[in-house]
């Protein structure tokens, strides 16, 4: 019984889900601070096809270097993989 009351109280405290986001950045900021599990009633099933055009290749990093990259990536709010890809793109351009 108390669990049901907690769920109802939590739902009452939720920010409303915006009808539309003005940009991907705005959507990202919203979902960075909200849990999608709290908004399941807004979800709907969709059918889609995905064509993967890019292949991924894995490159090994020495463990100390990986820890340094991970720390920098966390401070920038991105994954280590994303940061390394950005750095390689910059150098390869």
Alpha-carbon distance of 68 to 52, in angstroms, equals 31
**Residue 7 pLDDT:** 55
DSSP secondary structure code for residue 77 in this structure: T
Average pLDDT, the chain: 88
* Helix axis angle, 80-92 to 63-76, nearest 10°: 100
**59-80 pLDDT, tens per residue?**
999 999 999 999 999 999 999 9
* pTM, 2 dp: 0.43
Could you give the 3-state DSSP secondary structure of residue 83? helix
């Amino acid at each position: 019984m108390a669990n049901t009351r907690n769920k109802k109280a939590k739902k009452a405290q939720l920010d409303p889900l915006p009808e539309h986001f003005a940009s991907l950045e705005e959507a990202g900021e919203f979902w960075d601070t909200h849990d999608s599990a709290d908004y399941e009633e807004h979800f709907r099933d969709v059918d889609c096809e995905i064509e993967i055009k890019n292949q991924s290749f894995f490159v090994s990093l020495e463990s100390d270097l990986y820890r340094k990259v991970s720390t920098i990536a966390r401070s920038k709010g991105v994954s280590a993989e994303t940061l390394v890809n950005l750095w390689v793109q910059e150098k390869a351009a």
